[in-house]
Amino acid sequence: MTHQPTFGKVFVAIALGAVTTLTGCSSLESSANPVKEEDLTLAFTSTTASQPAQPLNTLTGHSKYVQAIAISTDGQILASGGEDGTIKLWNLPKGIRIRTLAGHIKPIHAVAISPDKKLVASGSYDGTIKIWQLSNGSLIHTLNGDSTSVLSIAISPDGKTLASSGLDKTIKLWQLSNGELIRTLTGNLDAVNCVTFSPDGQTLASGSADRSINLWNPRMGIRIRTLEGHSDWVNSVAFSPDGKLLASGSNDGTIKLWNPRNGEAIATLKGNATLINSVAFSSKGQTIASGSLDNTIKLWNPRTGELKSTLAGDDSKVNSFAFSPDGQTLATGSHDGSIKIWQVPAQE
């Protein structure tokens, strides 16, 4: 999960009570007889919000904006990348900083932790990707990912491949163990803002400023299909944990849900007042989070399209977020250089 650097600004605090109504179908899970995507647009209706809650914890240390966040598969380590050009590693349960990794010469826009928790990768506006040893912070490899800026990185579920994308309109696939370039995927007409692997690692999804979403076979290096429907930049893409849904967030202010197996558009979620800069599924797939320039993070039920709650209203703008593996907390990277940990409202 990554997003557009200049638009990742969201105010965060918890406010409950907002709901949506789904028009045209009873469940988003039904795919046997797909209906027209336009019939599934969700109308947003807000009710009186409760008093904003306080974060469970606030982690401080970055001197400028926190642009990227990743959490390890066991929920113990949080990695943050900042406008100050550093990566910071945190003990998430204890809320303490472990170490700072320095070496990039420009802001960091993407971070990822390998599934085995041995490596952390960072992508920067300086056009490089750095691979670090998580245990001691030593630099292992520096990859020349883009001639201008690296906008997104993702590590495959088996931990063998790293995907990167950037302003040069390409996606590069790297061997994580030795930093060798495997192949370059081309075909986009503008910057590739985001990349993510499917849970089984067989598909790579990318979203571009050319308004398209491409699905790739990373092993063969071929494009499987192109999903079209957004009317502006695609800033973020995310697979559900079972791989049956793909969510996309766009500058057009919508979140779209797709069936990645056949490319069908399933639904459009509307409720944010402006562009969507980031989307993410919780670990159990019961919640989609969307971040927007309307100063909110909204939590949706992907099965029904219901807007479960809205996180909104803090003095600190947020540039990125990530769910904990148990789905009970959400970590947000803030404009003031802090990371806030929030309690996610109880699942239905």
Better pLDDT: 47 or 131: 131
Q: Give the chain's domain count.
A: 1
Domain of 298, in residue numbers: 5-343
Average pLDDT of the segment spanning 265-269: 94
Least confident residue range of 105-114, 122-131, 134-143, 273-282: 273-282
Confidence at 40, pLDDT banded by 50, 70, 90 = very low
Average pLDDT of the segment spanning 27-35: 31
Whether residue 319 is predicted with pLDDT greater than 80 in this model: the reply is no
- 289 located within any domain: yes
- 141 located within any domain: yes
- 256 located within any domain: yes
Whichever domain contains 327, its CATH number is 2.130.10.10
- 35 located within any domain: yes
Confidence at 6, pLDDT banded by 50, 70, 90 = very low
Better pLDDT: 55 or 142: 142
- 348 located within any domain: no
- 303 located within any domain: yes
For residue 334, the model assigns a pLDDT of 78
- 261 located within any domain: yes
For residue 220, the model assigns a pLDDT of 96
Question: Measured between alpha carbons, how far is 303 from 283 in angstroms, rounded to an integer?
Answer: 15
For residue 111, the model assigns a pLDDT of 98
- 45 located within any domain: yes
Least confident residue range of 11-20, 120-129, 242-251, 254-263: 11-20
pLDDT (tens digit per residue) in 146-187: 678 999 999 999 999 999 999 999 999 999 999 999 999 999
Q: Please give, one letter per residue, the 3-state secondary structure of the chain.
A: CCCCHHHCCEECCEEECCEEEECCCCCCCCCCCCCCHHHHEEEEECCCCCCCCCCCEEECCCCCCEEEEEECCCCCEEEEEECCCEEEEEECCCCEEEEEEECCCCCEEEEEECCCCCEEEEEECCCEEEEEECCCCCEEEEEECCCCCEEEEEECCCCCEEEEEECCCCEEEEECCCCCEEEEECCCCCCEEEEEECCCCCCEEEEECCCCEEEEECCCCEEEEEECCCCCCEEEEEECCCCCCEEEEECCCCEEEECCCCCCEEEEECCCCCCEEEEEECCCCCCEEEEECCCEEEEECCCCCCEEEEEECCCCEEEEEEECCCCCEEEEEECCCCEEEEECCCCC
